[in-house]
Amino acid sequence: MGRNRATLADVARRAGLSKTAASMVLNGREGTRLSAEAHQRVFAAAEELGYRPNLAARSLRTRKTATIAFVSDIVATTRFAGDLIRGALDAARERDHVLLITETQGDATFEQYAIEAVLDRQVDGVIYAAMATRRLTVPAAILGGPVVLLNATSPDGLPSVVPDDEGAGRSVATALLELGHRDAIALIGRNRLKEDDPEVSLAARARLHGIRQTLDEAKVGLLAECFCTEWLPEHGYAAMRSLLSKPKRPSAIICMNDRLAFGAYQALGEAGLTVPEDISVISFDDDPIAAWLRPSLATTALPHEQMGRRAVELLLDGGAAEPSLVPMPLRRRRSLAPPAG
């Protein structure tokens, strides 16, 4: 990689000036008294030689690398990781930085390795990302430099970026109320573990809270709440079947995520019911399947790309210490209608 690149000394020689002069000109240093002509000559020489500074040499002296570490627990499992990374990548590029990516897989040994690898390379800062919104403890070793938590919060009060799940809960409930649903709204996806342990999830509690708050204000109660051990399609399917076996059929279903909703659709289809004529469905995440379902599924989008971008901005431009909440936009789609009758 990169064999015979021109060095600063080459540029200086060609410009007939010293390395010092060339360095100062190219770095646009203020307060230097180099003549306009010297500037010209240096720029011309650099241009002609296709000069690009050797970043290893520079960072040896300056301790800056224009590199950000992106350390996450698990990148691959969820499709959302890609968006988080893409947002970060974009924002990093705009600021002339680059992303060093490592993954801990939740394994302490790997985490140790990742941290050493990152510190050894003297990154300018670390984005510590979680794939499920949750609380976590940041390893002390990286606290020597700037750190931003992405999709996570920590007890240390580090700057962090998380989605506004509570707001999403309110949006979802409001959307149903506006359509006239009142006494027959059911919820699929209650989960004690997710709701009670912030190290597992922050989203479940916040979403539930937003929903409850909005319904309470409207003096509306939930018709039923189904607990699910996981938020996967099969659990949504089972929950929906159990709801349909009860005497009073719901007019609308809120699913805690799109995969549950997908399962609910399957059960509804088997039961010969149609969405949204018989039952409205609304959900969270905006997984790609939400748009692929028939009818398309209304949901609140996890703004992962935005979040990734925000994390880089907080890291490089500095920012408030309290968690930065990124709104989750409501995607109104075909699965919503006023209650039948």
Partner DNA sequence: ATGCTCTGCTAAATCAGTTTAGCGACCACT
Partner DNA sequence: AGTGGTCGCTAAACTGATTTAGCAGAGCAT
Q: Which residues bind DNA (CB under 7 A)?
A: 5, 7-9, 16-21, 23-24, 26-27, 32-35, 37-38, 51-54, 57-58, 60-62
- Yes or no: say if 142 and 151 are a contact pair by the CB < 8 Å rule: no
Residue with smaller CB distance to a second copy, 78 or 154: 78
| 175 is an interface residue for a second copy by CB under 8 A | no
Q: How far is the CB of 170 from DNA (least distance, A)?
A: 49
Residue with smaller CB distance to a second copy, 101 or 244: 101
| 106 is an interface residue for a second copy by CB under 8 A | no
| 158 is an interface residue for a second copy by CB under 8 A | no
Q: What phi and psi values does residue 337 have, to the nearest 5 degrees?
A: -160, 165
| 65 is an interface residue for a second copy by CB under 8 A | yes
The sign one gets for the Cα dihedral 154, 160, 166, 172 is: negative
Residue with smaller CB distance to DNA, 31 or 247: 31
Interface residue with a second copy among 36, 56, 108, 320 (CB under 8 A) is: 56
- Yes or no: say if 240 and 188 are a contact pair by the CB < 8 Å rule: yes
For 262, half-sphere exposure in the C-beta direction (CA atoms, 13 angstrom radius) is: 16
For helices 36-49 and 19-26, the axis angle rounded to 10 degrees is: 90
Q: Which two tokens stand for residue 204?
A: 């479940």
C-alpha triplet 164, 134, 160: angle, nearest 5°: 60
Q: How many angstroms separate the CA atoms of 148 and 88, rounded?
A: 12
Residues forming contacts to a second copy in the complex (CB under 8 A) are: 1-3, 52-57, 59-60, 63, 65, 67, 70, 75-79, 81-83, 85-86, 89, 93, 98-103, 110, 113, 116-126, 142, 144-146, 232-234, 237, 259, 262-263, 266, 269, 288-289, 292, 294, 305
